[in-house]
């Protein structure tokens, strides 16, 4: 029996769409997944080198473009190694098999007597002069089932830590980011955003053409300038912002009452899981209930979003650091009434994005401005304030949990209700462009509320809303908000961050009620051996059994989840110290992500996810008044700094026989749970509302 | 009012004709074509634009170019000697101390500035020196290790 083609390959079956041998001695691989610092191109190069039997330094990764790359959808959800990597295993194995078959025919021998090294075909006696570069027609054919990828036991390039192929440029300052792109004749645009989410531009004087200014652009509430230099554009935009008159209306909820907003907003309730067990429910002798919440959280990339666009006749070319260039192309075409074939989007690396940030919006800005100056490229760079104030954010959430224990301290019943705006607001979702500038044009409608995927699909607020423990009677309901006063979309790990924080906090509360140790209590509700293994490993790594107890001011906590319920396993232990503030000292993590292509790449992603999750859990909340986002600087939107980050230890639990699962997002939930439990251990009071700032801890102590 | 401003960038004397209040970062990136110093916030709060000014690390996005007149500016492009990377650059590679890498050049400049002043820093001193550099990817621990490695190599500074 042969496996079906991987989905990315089935959608893009021509092998020469993925591989190019036109440069002698080199292999160019064309993935449809983009690099934004997660190291995916290095891992894909390892897979290609492994299956083709070429050296890693013979592999080049082609820039991703709608003109030349396979459409692999959005680079998100920790799916690149599974999707793109899964396709490349097949493509490269098939190319290698085709090379060997062709060489065997020429040499009048059996393929099994031949091998490939460095891309050259060899016999036991030595080289044959045949290679990927000398045998014509490699690999111009369609993928077919039956290609035999190497078993991991035979890997020599994949499965080992190799240095990232993109880092040498980044330590020497060589131009590599979109922000560094300079095109001939390029102009510079800056957009003047409204002073509030709901605002109407009443009047704006035409400031004419101050020195260096090429154009002033207005349509409806979209206001911008184009200039010969970026500094002239910045100056002109500032003058325009001072001169423009707007009508401003309040439209945002009260940031001090996010729960009230979440519960009062119109919402659609849908069951996620309904598994009733009357016998189990009858065994309940003790019930607990609690509510957990998170605020709106910003992506807060260190680089403001950037884009370049150029119109040539009725065709437009866009350079963007979007995670989904094919969706962006479609959204631009839909929004502007263009033939998608006339829109080309080239991906150029930006900084880390961590979900759907303003990258796509910047591309729409550039397209609109470039239309004013046909034939000339226009670059748009967002300001820091716009990046923090106008990009989509991760939604505020509320999780209401209740559970029943039996007399022996086992969980018999669990209920979980989750309120949230949708997480799916990327360009093109639901047929809507969902691009900020287009929603400000004359006559345009606001961006509609974000979607959230099917309730059972773990594609939004429901991600990890279903506890992964053995519980007989289980009911989980999603309440998707149908009004979106603050624009929301995907943020790394989607609903898993709050859901796992809530579930793992509640598990500790239930363990305490049952008089059980947190590790033992979890293991008593887990039969999956891979789940048990990561918990046992992290407990050992951290020294859980011998942790200091009752030392006053120090606390330890555990968190666990299997990401999406079906992907990678992660368990985390946190150690905090509490005095006038919460200090996160150390994190230990154990992960099982199936087969691993680049172990150091996995550890880097897990470390980074853990630190970012800690920053969300301890510091971060989007601030706003009734009209606008107010946390628009690094002072008002603080993230964890060098003097505040914990030491992090990561252990990979080997599972070479299991499919790869991705590693970029699985730490977010367990780390939040571990920190929450460590804080409760340290201060003796459960803090259920994120972030775990001094103010929230103090409030929880006062209310206890 | 435009005027000529003289400064030394990566060892080369330059004359910049422009407004004296133009941020140094803008001159480095747009006038001199240096991509290493990066725009992150424009307010000196994130560290992505750090350079050495007479050997000390500081932000360049909030420094008027006139304040650099007559002084030596070093960017990440000016650290390597021929093909030999500066020990801090090499240590960042050795420790794989980056994810997206956008903030990396600013951090390297902070670290070089630190090691010139304090050749054998403690971990706490490294953290304190890098506190003005934000990293959103969470690579902090590797960067700390890289700075300590560069210091231990005993070849840091010049």
Q: What is the pLDDT tens value at each position of chain B, 158 positions in all? A: 789 999 999 999 999 999 999 999 999 999 999 999 999 999 999 999 999 999 999 999 999 999 999 999 999 999 999 889 999 999 999 999 999 999 999 999 999 999 999 999 999 999 999 999 999 999 999 999 999 999 999 754 44
Q: Give the one of B35, B103, B141 whose C-beta lies nearest to A647's C-beta.
A: B141
Query: Which residue do the tokens 């089935």 mark?
Result: A10
Of B70, B111, B71, B121, which Cα lies nearest the Cα of B91? B111
- State residue B158's pLDDT score: 45
Residues of A with Cβ-Cβ distance to B42 under 8 angstroms:
383-384
Q: Is the ipTM of this complex over 0.85?
A: yes
Q: Which residues in chain A are contacts of B134 at CB distance < 8 A?
A: 302, 634, 639, 641
Q: How confident is the model at residue A39 (pLDDT cuts 50, 70, 90)?
A: very high
Of B109, B114, B66, B99, give the one whose Cα is nearest residue A352.
B99
Structure tokens at A664: 């970029």
Tokens at residue A468, please? 């992964």
Confidence at residue A209, expressed as pLDDT on a 0 to 100 scale: 72
Q: Does B74 touch chain A (CB under 8 A)?
A: no
Q: Which residue has the tokens 């990764």?
A: A61
- Whether the CB of B95 is below 8 Å from some CB of chain A: the reply is no
DSSP character string of A574-638: EEEEESSSEEEEEEEEEEE-SS-S-HHHHHHHHHHHHHHHHHHHHT----B-SSSB---STTTS-
Token pair 């437009």 is found at A316
Identify the helix (H) or strand (E) that includes residue A702.
Answer: helix A694-703
Cα–Cα distance, A237 to A501 (Å, whole number): 43
How far apart are alpha carbons B33 and B9 in whole angstroms? 12
- Assigned token pair, A692: 């775990």
> pLDDT at position A354, please?
96
Q: Which two tokens stand for residue A670?
A: 């367990």
CB atoms inside a 10 Å sphere around CB A543: 13
The answer, for B125 touching chain A at a CB cutoff of 8 Å, is no
Q: Using CA atoms in the order A120, A121, A127, A130, what is the torsion angle rounded to 10 degrees? A: -80
For position A14, what pLDDT does the model report?
86
Is pLDDT at A638 greater than 70 in this prediction? yes
| Confidence check: pLDDT of A34 > 60 | yes
pLDDT in tens, A86-145: 999 999 999 999 999 999 999 999 999 999 999 999 999 999 999 999 987 665 677 777
pLDDT digits (tens, 9 = 90+) for A141-166: 777 777 788 999 999 999 999 999 99
For A17, phi then psi, to 5°, come to -75, -25
Question: Quick one: tokens of B75?
Answer: 């960017």
**Mean pLDDT of the region A366-385:** 98
Structure token pair of residue B102:
């956008």
Q: Which residues of A touch B141 (CB under 8 A)?
A: 607, 611, 645, 647-648
Q: How confident is the model at residue A472 (pLDDT cuts 50, 70, 90)?
A: very high
Do the Cβ atoms of A163 and B96 come within 8 Å?
yes
Best interface-test mutation with B: which of A172, A212, A232, A238 has the largest number of B CBs within 10 A? A172
Long-range contacts of A636-639 (CB under 8 A, 24+ apart): A637/A298, A637/A300, A637/A388, A639/A300, A639/A615, A639/B134, A639/B136
Beta partners for residue B14, in sequence order: B7
Task: Categorise residue B108: left if φ over 0, alpha if ψ from -120 to 50, beta otherwise.
Answer: alpha
Q: Does B40 touch chain A (CB under 8 A)?
A: yes
How many CA atoms lie within 13 Å of A271's alpha carbon, on the beta-carbon side?
7
Q: Which pair of tokens denotes residue A701?
A: 């102590």
| Chain A hits for B130, Cβ within 8 Å | 642
How far is it, in rounded angstroms, from Cα B154 to Cα B115? Answer: 10
d(CA B19, CA A478): 57
pLDDT given at position A1? 34
Which tops the pLDDT comparison, A697 or A4? A697
Can you list the positions of beta strands (E) in A240-338? 245-249, 267-275, 286-294, 306-312, 315-320
Under 8 Å CB pairs connecting chains A and B tally to: 162
Give how far B70 is from chain A: nearest CA, Å. 23
Chain A residues whose beta carbon lies within 8 Å of the beta carbon of residue B48: 302-303
Strands (E), A302-433: 306-312, 315-320, 343-347, 378-381, 397-405, 411-420
Which among B37, B89, B141 has CB closest to A172? B89
Beta carbons within 10 angstroms of residue B33's beta carbon: 11
Q: How many residues does this entry show for chain B?
A: 158
Nearest to A180 among B35, B141, B144 (CB): B35
Closest CA to A54 of A141, A117, A142: A117
Instruction: Extract the tokens encoding A608.
Output: 């980074």
Does residue A430 surpass a pLDDT of 90?
yes
Query: How far is it, in rounded angstroms, from Cα A198 to Cα A484?
Result: 12
Q: What percent of chain A has pLDDT above 90?
A: 89
* pLDDT greater than 90 at residue A10: no
The answer to which of A206-220, A487-501, A638-652 has the lowest mean pLDDT is A206-220
**Radius of gyration (C-alpha) of chain A in whole angstroms:** 27
Closest CA to A397 of A487, A469, A499, A500: A499
Q: Is the Cβ–Cβ distance between A312 and A318 less than 8 Å?
A: no
pTM of the model: 0.97
Can you tell me the distance from the alpha carbon of A641 to that of A185, in angstroms, rounded to the nearest whole number? 40
d(CA B109, CA B58): 8
- Rounded CA-CA distance A533/A618 in Å is 28
Q: Which residues 41-70 of B are in CB contact (within 8 Å) with A?
A: 41-43, 45-46, 48
Query: Which two structure tokens, joined as six digits, stand for A509?
Result: 């509360």
Where residue A456 falls among pLDDT bands split at 50, 70, 90? Answer: confident
B78 in contact with chain A, both atoms CB, cutoff 8 A: no
Comparing A93-97, A336-340, A440-444, the range with the smallest average pLDDT is A93-97
Integer-rounded Cα Rg, in Å, for chain B is 15
Instruction: Looking at the complex, report in whole angstroms how far the Cα of residue B127 sits from the nearest Cα belonging to chain A.
Output: 5
CB A143 within 8 A of CB A94: yes
Q: Which residues of A touch B38 (CB under 8 A)?
A: 177, 179, 303
Average pLDDT over chain A, rounded to an integer: 95
Taking residues A43-61, what's their average pLDDT? Answer: 97
Residue B84, chain A, CB below 8 Å: the answer is: no
Count of residues making up chain A: 704
* Among candidates A173, A642, A647 on the partner chain, residue whose Cβ is nearest the Cβ of B105: A173
């Amino acid at each position: 029996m042969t496996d079906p083609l991987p989905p990315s390959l089935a959608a893009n079956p021509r092998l020469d769409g993925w591989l190019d041998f036109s440069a002698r001695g080199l292999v160019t691989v064309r993935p449809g997944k983009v690099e934004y610092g997660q190291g995916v191109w290095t891992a894909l190069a390892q897979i290609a080198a492994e299956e083709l039997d070429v050296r890693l330094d013979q592999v080049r990764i082609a820039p991703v473009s709608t003109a030349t790359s396979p459409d692999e959808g959005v680079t998100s959800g920790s799916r690149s190694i599974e999707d793109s990597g899964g396709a490349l295993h097949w493509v490269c194995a098939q190319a290698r098999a085709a090379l060997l078959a062709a060489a065997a025919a020429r040499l009048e021998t059996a393929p099994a007597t031949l091998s490939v090294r460095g891309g050259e075909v060899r016999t036991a006696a030595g080289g044959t002069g045949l290679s990927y570069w000398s045998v014509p027609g490699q690999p111009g054919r369609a993928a077919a089932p039956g290609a035999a990828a190497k078993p991991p036991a035979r890997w020599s390039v994949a499965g080992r830590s190799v240095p990232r192929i993109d880092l040498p440029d980044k330590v020497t300052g060589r131009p590599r980011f979109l922000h560094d792109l300079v095109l001939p004749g390029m102009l510079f645009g800056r957009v003047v955003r409204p002073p509030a989410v709901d605002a109407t531009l009443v009047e704006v004087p035409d400031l004419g053409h101050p020195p260096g200014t090429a154009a002033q652009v207005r349509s409806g509430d979209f206001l911008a300038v184009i200039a010969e230099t970026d500094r002239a554009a910045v100056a002109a935009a500032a003058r325009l912002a001072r001169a423009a008159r707007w009508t401003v209306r309040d439209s945002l909820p009260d940031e001090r009452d996010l729960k009230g907003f979440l519960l009062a907003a119109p919402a659609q309730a849908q069951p996620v899981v309904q598994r009733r067990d009357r016998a189990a429910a009858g065994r309940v002798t003790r019930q607990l209930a609690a509510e957990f919440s998170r605020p709106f959280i910003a992506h807060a990339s260190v680089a403001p979003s950037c884009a370049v666009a150029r119109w040539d006749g009725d065709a437009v070319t866009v350079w963007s650091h979007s995670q989904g260039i094919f969706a962006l192309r479609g959204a631009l075409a839909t929004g502007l009434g263009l033939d998608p074939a006339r829109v080309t989007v080239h991906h150029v690396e930006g900084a880390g994005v961590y979900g759907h940030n303003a990258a796509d919006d910047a591309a729409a800005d550039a397209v609109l401005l470039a239309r004013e100056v046909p034939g000339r490229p226009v670059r748009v760079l967002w300001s820091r304030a716009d990046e923090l104030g106008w990009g989509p954010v991760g939604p505020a959430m509320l999780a209401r949990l209740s559970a029943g224990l039996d007399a022996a301290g086992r969980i018999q019943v669990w209920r979980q209700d989750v309120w949230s705006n949708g997480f799916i607001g990327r360009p093109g979702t639901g047929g809507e462009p969902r691009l900020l500038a287009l929603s400000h044009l004359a006559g345009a409608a606001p961006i509609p509320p974000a979607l959230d995927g099917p309730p059972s699909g773990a594609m939004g607020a429901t991600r990890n809303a279903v506890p992964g423990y053995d519980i007989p009677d289980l009911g989980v309901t999603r309440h998707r908000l149908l009004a979106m006063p603050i624009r929301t979309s995907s943020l790394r790990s989607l609903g898993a961050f709050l859901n796992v924080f809530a579930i793992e906090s509640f598990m500790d509360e239930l363990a305490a009620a049952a008089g059980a140790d947190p590790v033992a209590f979890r293991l008593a509700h887990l039969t999956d051996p891979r789940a048990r293994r990561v918990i046992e490993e992290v407990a050992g790594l951290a020294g859980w059994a011998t942790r200091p107890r009752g030392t006053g001011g120090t606390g330890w906590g555990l968190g666990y989840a299997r990401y999406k319920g079906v992907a990678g396993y992660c368990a985390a232990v946190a150690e905090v110290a509490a005095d006038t503030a919460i200090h996160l000292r150390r994190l230990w993590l154990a992960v099982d992500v199936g087969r691993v292509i680049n172990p150091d790449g996995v550890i880097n992603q897990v470390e980074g996810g853990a630190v970012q999750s800690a920053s969300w859990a301890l510091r971060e909340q989007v601030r706003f008044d009734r009209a606008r986002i107010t946390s628009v600087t690094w002072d008002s939107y603080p993230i964890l700094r060098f003097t505040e980050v914990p030491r992090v230890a990561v252990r990979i639990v080997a599972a070479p026989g299991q499919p790869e699962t991705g590693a970029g997002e699985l730490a977010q939930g367990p780390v939040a749970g571990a920190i929450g439990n460590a804080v409760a251990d340290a201060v003796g009071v459960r803090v259920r509302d994120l972030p775990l700032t001094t103010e929230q801890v103090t409030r929880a102590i006062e209310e206890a | 009012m435009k005027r000529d401003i003289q400064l030394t960038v990566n060892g080369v004397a330059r004359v910049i004709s422009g407004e004296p209040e133009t941020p140094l970062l803008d001159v480095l990136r747009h006038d001199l074509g240096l991509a290493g110093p990066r725009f992150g916030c424009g307010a000196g709060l994130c560290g992505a634009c750090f350079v050495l000014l007479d050997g000390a690390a500081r932000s360049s996005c909030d420094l008027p170019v006139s304040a650099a007149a007559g002084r030596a500016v070093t960017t990440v492009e000016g650290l390597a000697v021929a093909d030999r990377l500066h020990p801090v650059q090499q240590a960042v590679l050795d420790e794989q101390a980056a994810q997206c890498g956008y903030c990396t050049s600013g951090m390297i400049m902070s670290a070089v500035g630190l090691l010139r002043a304090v050749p054998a820093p403690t971990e706490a001193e490294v953290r304190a020196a890098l506190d003005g550099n934000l990293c959103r990817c969470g690579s902090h621990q590797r960067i700390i290790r890289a700075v300590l490695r560069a210091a231990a190599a005993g070849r840091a500074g010049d």
